[in-house]
């Protein structure tokens, strides 16, 4: 292989700020997965200041992993056919997918990244494998000359450490990036494209597989075998999903726990900071929430999907690759209720039959609870006392629409979702009956409610509330 890395460079598609731990996992550990906030690199090609990068990528989100006084690692990733990038917008944005993104400040839900005089779309990239030619740079405060730390040469060779010149690769995951199916396994591959179609692949294994001859070792420690593809060979990405603690998640890679048990890295697909953390997920980086269940815990609930690119040609491919077929209207109650049903479905446990929710909206406070009916005959239920923020936002918008339509401003809603479709929604009566979770309403909440939605008369329960 030519040691001149410039001969291997591919035009950059995305830029991402990388936490120090992730940078080490690349250069020292040879890891190949990536996801999170990103921007179209072409839009900010002249950016050099560490503080500007922090602003651009919402790097000030606590606990902050970036400091204007410390170097920052920037990952530059060429577009590849398996990268799925959407606009990182909030729930009420018409382009929002899966309820949008609900991160804490300085993220604002606008889908716009700003820093250093630049303004462009803020993107969110789903977990996948790095593109060969990806580069890791270290930028220093008040220094216009960044340091090239490493180059990713693909699954077989992994990362080249630019200081040492050595290659390091980890056992590649077959849950992200392209794979081919063999009789004995599905193997991660590096793909060769000819005339816009995959023509050959290099299969990669962490050791010489006894099930098939012809694998050879390379300097990274991997074993590889190149084959030309036949009509029967299909290159695809195995996308494995599981709902863990009522959070729809993408499984990324297997690993060993501290006690030697087999675990899996699971990344939340719906990015909701408060909800994800309440369900046991940890923020790894801005916009990335993960947990590490055992394989035994997710084995009965995972779902596999084979995904193949519609086109292998990345020339002229837009930075945003995943969009809604049509914009959602925030003035259509039916569309908003459909979004809620979709979110509830993503929270559902296996073999669920129905979900019953009650959501209370008073002033700026929202609270919801409910249960999934798993087996109606046996009265088996899974209770939920925390809901994604998008459900509250959609119902708050519906409340406004009801008020504008002369239906009053309901304080609570009851919803039933049956196997993924909205079965019924109803307004819980007001003002004669108190809200279902009256004990969680403070007098200041009711005062705010009256400011937003003035009422001619207050019910008896509200007067008692104000007298407390």
**What secondary structure does DSSP assign to 369-433, as a single string?**
EEEEEEETTTTEEEEE----HHHHHHHHHHHHHHHHTTS---SEEEEEEETTEEEEEEEPP-SSS
pLDDT of residue 317: 85
**Do β-strands 33-40 and 112-115 pair in parallel, antiparallel, or remain unpaired?**
unpaired
> How many CB atoms lie under 10 A from the CB of residue 342?
18
Mean per-residue pLDDT, 312-326: 89
Task: Tell me if residue 160 falls in helix, strand or coil.
Answer: strand
pLDDT of residue 1: 36
Q: What is the Cα–Cα distance from 35 to 127, expressed in whole angstroms?
A: 5
- The pLDDT tens digits for 40-79 are 998 988 889 999 999 999 988 888 889 999 999 999 999 9
Q: What is the Cα–Cα distance from 459 to 1, expressed in whole angstroms?
A: 80
- The pLDDT tens digits for 219-242 are 999 999 999 999 889 999 999 999
- The pLDDT tens digits for 247-294 are 999 999 999 888 889 999 999 998 999 999 999 999 999 999 999 999
- The pLDDT tens digits for 208-225 are 999 999 999 999 999 999
* Residue 5: band (very low, low, confident or very high) from pLDDT cuts 50, 70, 90: very low
* Residue 28: band (very low, low, confident or very high) from pLDDT cuts 50, 70, 90: very high
pLDDT of residue 126: 96
- Nearest Cα residue to 286 out of 300, 301, 276: 276
Looking from the CA of 2 toward its CB, the CA atoms found within 13 Å total 6
HEC-encoded secondary structure of 93-150: CCCCCCCCCECCCCCCCECEEEECCEEEECEEEEEEECCCCCEEEEECCCCCCCEEEE
Task: Answer whether residue 32 shows pLDDT above 90.
Answer: yes
- Nearest Cα residue to 171 out of 31, 265, 34: 31
* Residue 339: band (very low, low, confident or very high) from pLDDT cuts 50, 70, 90: very high
Q: What is the Cα–Cα distance from 109 to 171, expressed in whole angstroms?
A: 36
Task: Answer whether residue 6 shows pLDDT above 50.
Answer: no
Angle (CA) 25-5-131 rounded to 5° is 50
**Do β-strands 14-18 and 72-77 pair in parallel, antiparallel, or remain unpaired?**
antiparallel
Mean per-residue pLDDT, 333-339: 93
In the chain, where the domains are located: 5-168, 178-236, 240-306, 333-467
How many Å separate Cα 272 from the centre of its chain?
9
Query: Rg for the chain (alpha carbons), in Å?
Result: 25
Burial 290-306 (b: 16+ CB within 10 A, else e): bbebeeeebeeebeeee
The mean predicted confidence, pLDDT, of the chain is 91
Share of the chain above pLDDT 70, in %: 96
Quickly tell me which residue has 């491919």 as its tokens: 317
- The pLDDT tens digits for 402-461 are 999 988 889 999 999 987 777 777 787 666 678 899 999 999 999 999 999 998 888 888
- The pLDDT tens digits for 145-175 are 999 999 999 999 999 999 999 999 999 999 9
CA trace torsion 92, 98, 103, 109 (10° rounding): -30
CB-CB contact of 280 with 226 (8 Å): no
- Domain made up of 333-467: CATH architecture: 2-Layer Sandwich (3.30)
Q: What is the Cα–Cα distance from 304 to 302, expressed in whole angstroms?
A: 7
Who's near 165: CB < 8 A, 6+ residues apart? Answer: 3
DSSP E strands, 172-234: 178-181, 186-194, 197-205, 216-217, 223-228
Task: Answer whether residue 10 shows pLDDT above 90.
Answer: no
pLDDT of residue 434: 85
Residue with the bigger pLDDT between 196 and 372: it is: 372
Task: Answer whether residue 334 shows pLDDT above 50.
Answer: yes
Stretch (H or E) spanning 338: helix 333-347
Which pTM value belongs to this model? 0.91
Cis peptide before 165 (omega within 30 of 0): no
pLDDT of residue 375: 87
Task: Tell me if residue 228 falls in helix, strand or coil.
Answer: strand
């Amino acid at each position: 292989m030519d040691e001149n890395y410039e001969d291997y460079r591919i035009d950059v598609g995305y830029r991402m700020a990388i936490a120090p731990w992730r940078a080490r996992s690349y250069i020292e550990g040879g890891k190949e997965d990536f996801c999170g906030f990103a921007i179209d690199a072409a839009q900010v090609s002249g950016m050099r200041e560490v503080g500007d990068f922090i602003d651009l990528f919402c790097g000030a989100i606590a606990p902050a992993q970036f400091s204007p006084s410390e170097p920052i690692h920037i990952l530059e990733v060429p577009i590849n056919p398996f990268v799925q990038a959407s606009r990182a917008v909030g729930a009420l944005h018409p382009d929002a997918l899966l309820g949008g993104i609900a991160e804490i400040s300085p993220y604002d839900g606008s889908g716009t990244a700003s820093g250093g005089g630049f303004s462009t779309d803020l993107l969110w990239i789903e977990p996948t494998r790095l593109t060969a030619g990806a580069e890791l740079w270290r930028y220093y405060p008040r220094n216009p000359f960044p340091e090239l730390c490493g180059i990713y040469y693909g699954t077989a060779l992994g990362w080249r450490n630019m200081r040492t010149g050595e290659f390091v690769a980890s056992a590649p995951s077959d849950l992200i990036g392209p794979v081919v199916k063999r009789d004995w396994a599905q193997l991660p591959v590096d793909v060769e494209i000819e005339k816009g179609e995959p023509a050959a692949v290099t299969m990669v294994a962490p050791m010489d597989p006894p099930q098939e001859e012809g694998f050879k070792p390379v300097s990274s420690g991997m074993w590889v075998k190149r084959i030309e593809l036949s009509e029967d060979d299909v290159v695809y990405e195995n996308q494995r999903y599981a709902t863990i603690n009522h959070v729809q998640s993408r499984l990324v890679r297997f690993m060993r726990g501290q006690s030697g048990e087999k675990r899996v890295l699971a990344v939340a697909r719906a990015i909701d900071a408060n909800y994800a953390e309440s369900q046991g997920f940890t923020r790894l980086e801005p916009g990335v929430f993960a947990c590490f269940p055992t394989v035994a815990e997710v084995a009965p609930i995972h779902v596999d999907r084979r995904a193949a690119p519609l086109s292998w040609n990345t020339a002229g491919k837009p930075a945003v690759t995943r969009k809604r077929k049509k914009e959602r209207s925030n003035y259509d109650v039916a569309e908003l209720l459909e979004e809620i049903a979709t979110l509830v479905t993503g929270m559902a446990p296996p073999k669920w039959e129905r979900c019953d929710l009650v959501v209370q909206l008073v002033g700026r406070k929202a609270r919801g609870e409910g249960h999934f009916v798993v087996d109606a005959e046996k009265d088996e239920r899974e209770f939920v006392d925390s809901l994604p923020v998008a459900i509250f936002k959609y119902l708050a918008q519906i409340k406004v629409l009801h008020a504008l339509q002369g239906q009053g401003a309901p304080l609570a809603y009851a919803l039933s979702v049956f196997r993924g479709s909205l079965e019924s929604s109803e307004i819980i009566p007001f003002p004669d009956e108190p809200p279902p979770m009256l004990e969680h309403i403070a007098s200041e909440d009711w005062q705010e409610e009256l400011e937003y939605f003035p009422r001619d008369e207050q019910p008896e329960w509200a007067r008692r509330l104000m007298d407390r």
